[in-house]
Amino acid sequence: SRTYGYQHFSLEVDDIHAMVDHLVAQGLVPDSYLSKGVDGTWQCWFHDPDGNPFELMEYTKDSMQLMEN
């Protein structure tokens, strides 16, 4: 039997540093340190209360997702 679903969901934020600080102040513990990925995008990972992983991300001027081909 095959299981379908998603790996995680991602939320784009305007100021990831402020959002991470806010979530930590509310008692959430990040699963990873705030870092810039190989794609040039800021990212940080958390889990929701049900254990589902989610990513916060903030695009930068160098983010590959924003580059034109």
Q: What pLDDT, in 10s, does the model give residues 5-64? A: 777 789 999 999 999 999 999 999 999 999 998 888 999 999 988 888 899 999 998 888
Map residue 61 onto helix, strand or coil. coil
pLDDT higher for 69 or 48? 48
pLDDT tier, 66 (very low <50, low <70, confident <90, very high otherwise):
confident
Q: Residue 69 has what pLDDT?
A: 61
- Which of the two residues, 68 and 52, has the higher pLDDT score? 52
Q: Helix (H, G, I), strand (E, B), or coil: what is residue 10?
A: strand
Q: Which of 26, 63, 69, 65 is nearest to 48 (CA)?
A: 26
Q: CA angle at residue 57 from 56 to 59, to 5 degrees?
A: 165
Integer Rg of the chain from CA: 14
